Structure 1
């Protein structure tokens, strides 16, 4: 029996420090459950669309079986923007009042280094396949968005995925496009089991699984970006992903072609 995923909701109690990688200024923050989180803000440059990509990408990765820090919804109170001395951060906090997204902070984790950690070919193939599905442009040697924590590989930061939602009008066409950026994927050379990964993951990511994950998108995020009804927007995300999964041979062929140029 498939149990729909659920996310806990926490309240942010303390802004600890900004993480100045990239332009969105995520931060380490403490919540009322006593844990530290990497907080992603709805008021950052890409708005709630980056949070939606993070949410969908992270929960799809978790469903596949990858190690992903726990994702939680994080409430930010109006008081947080009042005493912050940095004006840029103050503006970000004020623009992010309400429901944001956070990942459990993996204290002591180190950035994945392919020269040090050799990834199993099937695991590499599954990660490449998933990033082709999600059109995740941000898993390159320059920025792997993978961590090593307790000698295990963890995936983080899917906010740059699902870039179709930045040009919403032609999502049907984008759903069946190959993912040409796979040529830059940090694990492509190790991904020698793409056909096996394709068969396994298509069985896991059923339409019901996709719908359950997409249904996690909060109404208030949708209202910030779209005029359509929330269920209509969620349906488009689900249809986009279901179409890509059904047409996976398109992005699989592109990945295999790009890999053949490497080896």
Structure 2
């Protein structure tokens, strides 16, 4: 597995194609100036830039660990997009999202992962469960797997609900050391029999340097969206410290995941 953290490309949105109304934050399929289609996540939706930051950090950590995530890009949205949209809800969303947003490459023809239809091997299941415990991702359940099958491979999507500590910023060091009790609802937990092996492997890959490189990708304007530049710098530091502390204490959430799995079988 590569330990190199790539730089993200920046594209300009040229065409709003269609909303994806199954998403609570109303993402959309959009075309960019590189002529590719993307799933566009708006800074003006739901939890705002915090959801984009979670999507960015979680997605690039997953990629670094060798898991498949659609390419993530920064997407500039021009103010003209909100002027001609007839749907008032979408128009307001576009106007609130002028500037830098986040987008993921659209996997045309992908289908939602169904654990009843598709069997995932124990190693991959353990890797995904470990990842979601690490990033505190509450949104990978039977009801909403947030995984796609594309070209016979499993792809991870929608990490905006991860890193929920940043909605309060309080006691982040304490939160970093906590078990992830929500793992009991993880769709892949019954198959995750190799958590100890994965814990050892992933801790050797995901070191402080790579964590800092990923956190460094966060645009400054997202960090200072509702605060000062000084507070923005502090938040970048907190993201780094949270992830580094959580990695050092990964045995805690692995133990919780193993106990939760034992309770299922």
TM-score bracket, shorter-length normalisation = over 0.9
3-state SS of 1:225 partner: coil
Q: Determine the C-alpha separation between the residues in 2 that align with 1:214 and 1:112.
A: 29
Q: Within 5 Å, give how 1:128-207 maps onto structure 2.
A: 128-207=129-208
Q: TM-score, normalised by structure 2?
A: 0.97
3-state SS of 1:217 partner: coil
Q: Any gaps of 5 or more consecutive residues in structure 2?
A: none
Question: Is residue 13–residue 32 contact of structure 1 (8 Å, CA) maintained in 2?
Answer: yes
Question: Is residue 223–residue 233 contact of structure 2 (8 Å, CA) maintained in 1?
Answer: no
C-alpha displacement of 1:229: 4.1
Question: Is residue 176–residue 243 contact of structure 2 (8 Å, CA) maintained in 1?
Answer: yes
- Once the two structures are superposed, residues 140-195 of structure 1 have per-residue CA deviations (whole angstroms, 9 ceiling, x without a partner) of 00000000001110011100000000010221111111100000000000000000
C-alpha displacement of 1:2: 5.2
Q: Determine the C-alpha separation between the residues in 2 that align with 1:85 and 1:260.
A: 52
Q: Any gaps of 5 or more consecutive residues in structure 1?
A: none
Q: Determine the C-alpha separation between the residues in 2 that align with 1:93 and 1:125.
A: 38
Q: Determine the C-alpha separation between the residues in 2 that align with 1:226 and 1:148.
A: 39
3-state SS of 2:224 partner: helix
Structure 1 match to 2:214: 213
- Once the two structures are superposed, residues 18-46 of structure 1 have per-residue CA deviations (whole angstroms, 9 ceiling, x without a partner) of 00123210000000000000000000010
Structure 1 match to 2:253: 251
Q: Within 5 Å, give how 1:1-150 maps onto structure 2.
A: 3-150=4-151
Q: Determine the C-alpha separation between the residues in 2 that align with 1:189 and 1:176.
A: 24
Q: Determine the C-alpha separation between the residues in 2 that align with 1:91 and 1:32.
A: 23
Range 191-200 or range 16-25, more displaced:
16-25
Question: Is residue 121–residue 191 contact of structure 2 (8 Å, CA) maintained in 1?
Answer: yes
Question: Is residue 10–residue 76 contact of structure 2 (8 Å, CA) maintained in 1?
Answer: yes
Question: Is residue 73–residue 101 contact of structure 1 (8 Å, CA) maintained in 2?
Answer: yes
C-alpha displacement of 1:230: 3.3
Question: Is residue 48–residue 225 contact of structure 1 (8 Å, CA) maintained in 2?
Answer: no
How many residues align structurally? 263
3-state SS of 2:170 partner: helix
3-state SS of 1:252 partner: helix
Q: Determine the C-alpha separation between the residues in 1 that align with 2:22 and 2:134.
A: 25
- Once the two structures are superposed, residues 42-80 of structure 1 have per-residue CA deviations (whole angstroms, 9 ceiling, x without a partner) of 000100000000000000000000111000000000000
